[in-house]
Structure 1
Amino acid sequence: MKIGVVALDGCWDSGVTSVLDVLRTADAARTRVDATIPALECMFVAPTDEPVRTAGGLLIPAGRLIDDCVAAADLDLLLVPALAAQNPATVVDFLMRQDVRGVRTALRRWADGGGALAAACTSTFVLAEAGLLDQRQATTTWWLSDLFRHRYPAVRLDMSRMVVSDAGVVTAGAAFAHIDLALGIVAQVSPRLAAETAGALLIEERPTPSTGAMSDYLEDHDQLTSDFEAWARAHLHSPVGVTDAALALGVTRRTLERRVRDRLKTSPYAFIRSLRAERAEHLRVTTAMPTADIARQVGYQDATTVRRLRGGRQQFPR
């Protein structure tokens, strides 16, 4: 998965760094879960080719131009970290800046092309101002919820959850919800990898302010979904299906269907299919194995099915 982190002058320092830390930790943990999980690659995206200065004065090196990324359509997700606003008036001032206007236009083109989006805290206003949250469920930071409701009545605001995903757009709450946002993105790729990443970042079990930021993700973690993923990855070489998985996990097919749809926003069948495509692509690029042999390694009898899988691989979010 290729993720473009949209850097804007005055962005919240920890909003950028926490996202990068979580995603890089997840990428390093991939081999402990399953080496065939696609790499998580982050890059900076910006409205100009000049370095970006964070609210705390850090310089983010010049990244790819956002217009070039939208035109190339070679990323899986554009993620906008928060802007460091101190009051509602500052948020509105941010939205009126020329560079932010340009980013809004680019994000609309990106979304029109089917591109996935994510934002946290005050950057949810950037998506909403672009009309990208209209008629969608979304969340924002608690202290700006009244302004958000007043300014964007077409958005179905949900302040009961830290992270909300709806039709290709993921939003998260307050500033430190960037951690939950990043873990939610990882969970769309692999629930097991998200759990492994959260475990690696939680240095100790004693509740502290530093570990509390991840409590929302951990409370929402679904063990059945992780067990289903583990079972599916272990049986990709066999022509097994959803009924086999439910039987092995000791639940009804209906329960498995419901839990996977609630957590991954897709069906168990589609998730298994995406895992087969992922494994087949990994074998294609890392071995000299003929396509027919790859097909058998991922539970299919003929190469034609693998070619169709490759052409129809799903991208985040499912």
Structure 2
Amino acid sequence: MRFGVVAVDGCWDSGLTSVLDVLRTAHAARERVDAGLPGLECVLLTPGGTPITTAGGLLVAAARPLEDAAAAGIDLLLVPALGAQSPATMVDALMRPQIRAVRSALRRWTADGGPAAAACTSTFLLAETGLLDGRSATTTWWLRDLFVQRYPKVTLDMDRMVVRDGAVVTAGAAFAHIDLALSLVARISPRLASETARALLIDQRPTPSVAAFTDHLHGQDRLVSDFEAWARTHLHLQVGVADAALALKVTRRTLERHVKEGLGTTPYAFLRALRAERATHLRATTSLPAEDIAHRVGYRDAGSVRRLRTGR
């Protein structure tokens, strides 16, 4: 999966770098979870492809113009925080020509159905496009009043660190960038998100968000993580959701509810996605015939694997 990380002049240094660090650590941790997991690639994007300077003076030379995100094969656009320090500087930042260019690019991207994510002050960029109208979102606590005033059509949820509504994900204050990045990893694999958090010692951060996110990973999502682990271990067998529920000692309804809440999908769809992922990996890394690949992902024949690819 290719994440397009958007950098602009004056962006928050830790927001930009923490997102990159979490996603790159997750990419490296894949081998410890499942070698068949898709890679996580970060592509730095800037308006016009020009170098930018962060709020702390770091120089970033991007390889790709933001305007070429679709051509670059980007799967999700992620916008780290702007370096605004007050409501007044936040409003001023939104009027900058470079930020206007980002807003225009976001409008085009989301108009074509592209998913987007933002944290802290950059949630204002998503709101400015109208993308958050009629959706639930969150923002940084110290700009709550300004956000409500400017975007009355957005349902603001300040009780959660990360809010996902459809194809849009928003996160709270500056260090919520870590939680945002982990939530994106968790959509690919809850186990990979847990492994990434452990690798970075994220659960040892002395902040309220850590307790919330650690509870999220190891509490309500524990069943989702266990389901993923069981599924990856049993992909070669012709098993289904009922078998998983029995093995995990929960009812099918409980499993379905947890997977829906944690991953936004059904256990059947997730199991199917894991099989497609494993089949793709085997095709790319082995010379196994289609029939053998089918058997290794729990299907009787190659036709079933082909239907996985076409979604039928």
Provide closer, same or farther for how the CA distance between residues 153 and 212 of structure 1 changes in structure 2, counting only shifts above 3 A.
closer
The aligned runs of 1:29-40 (5 Å cut-off) are 29-40=29-40
Aligned match of 2:292: 293
Matched, 1:147 2:146: yes
Q: 1:208 to 1:106 in 2, by over 3 A?
A: closer
Shift of 1:202: 1.1
Number of the residue aligned with 2:98? 99
Distance 2:136 2:289 in 1: 45
Answer whether contact 2:49 2:66 (CA < 8 A) is retained. Answer: no
* TM-aligned CA deviation for residue 62 of structure 1: 2.3
In the TM superposition, residue 213 of structure 1 has moved relative to its aligned partner by 5.0
In the alignment, which residue of structure 2 is the partner of 1:244?
A: 243
* Cα distance in 2 between the residues matched to 1:132 and 1:104: 10
Deviation at 1:73, TM superposition (A): 6.5
8 Å Cα contact 1:180-1:216 kept in structure 2: no
In the alignment, residue 57 of structure 1 is paired with which amino acid?
G
| Aligned AA (1:218) | T
Cα deviation 1:95-125 (Å, max 9, x = unaligned):
1111111111111111122211110000000
Shift of 1:239: 1.4
Match of 1:121 in 2: 120
CA distance in 1 between counterparts of 2:205 and 2:264 reads 32
Match in the other structure for 1:19:
19
Mapped to 2, the partners of 1:40 and 1:311 lie a distance apart of: 23
> Any conservation in 2 of the 1:179–1:214 contact (CA below 8 Å)?
no
Instruction: Show the counterpart of 2:75.
Output: 76
TM-score normalised over the length of structure 1: 0.94
- The corresponding residue for 2:273 is 274
The alignment of Structure 1 onto Structure 2 pairs a total of residues equal to 309
Contact 2:48–2:67 (8 Å) recurs in 1: no
Deviation at 1:272, TM superposition (A): 0.4
Amino acid at match of 1:38: P
Whole-Å Cα distance in 1 between the matches of residues 68 and 175 of structure 2?
30
The alpha-carbon deviation at position 208 of structure 1 amounts to 5.0
1:157-199 superposed Cα distances (whole Å, 9 cap, x missing partner): 1000000011011100000000000000000000001011111
Mapped contact 1:23–1:40 kept (Cα < 8 A): yes
Q: CA 1:269 to 1:55, structure 2 compared with 1: closer, same or farther past 3 Å?
A: same
What CA distance in whole angstroms lies between the structure 2 residues aligned with 1:52 and 1:208?
A: 30
Match of 1:197 in 2: 196
Report the AA paired with residue 3 of structure 2. Answer: I
In 2: Cα distance, 1:73 partner to 1:45 partner:
10
Residue 35 of structure 1 deviates from its aligned partner by 0.6
Residue 63 of structure 1 and its aligned partner are, at CA, apart by 2.6
Distance 1:208 1:64, change over 3 A: closer
The answer for the alignment partner of 2:213 in structure 1 is: 217
- CA distance in 2 between partners of 1:94 and 1:302 (Å): 57
The alpha-carbon deviation at position 140 of structure 1 amounts to 0.4
Q: Deviations 1:224-279 (Å, cap 9, x if unpaired)?
A: 11000000011111111111100000000000000110010111111001101100
**Quick one: percent identity of the two aligned structures?**
67
Q: Which residue of 2 aligns with 1:89?
A: 88
Aligned partners of 1:214 and 1:60: how far apart in 2?
29
Contact 1:179 1:213 in 2 (8 A): no
Q: Distance in 2 between matches of 1:108 and 1:114?
A: 10
Q: Which amino acid aligns with 1:216?
A: A
Q: Which residue of 1 aligns with 2:52?
A: 52
Is the 2:26–2:185 Cα contact (8 Å) retained in structure 1?
A: yes
- Which consecutive residues of structure 2, in runs of 5 or more, have no partner in the other structure? none
Q: What is the CA deviation profile of residues 36-84 of structure 1, one whole-angstrom value per residue up to 9, with x for unaligned ones?
A: 11111001011122211000000111231111113x2611111000001
**Whole-Å separation in 1 of the counterparts to 2:115 and 2:311:** 17
Structure 2: distance between partners of 1:195 and 1:274: 20
Residue 25 of structure 1 and its aligned partner are, at CA, apart by 1.0
Aligned to 1:316: none
SS in 2 for 1:134: coil
Query: Tell me, what secondary structure is at the counterpart of 1:48?
Result: helix
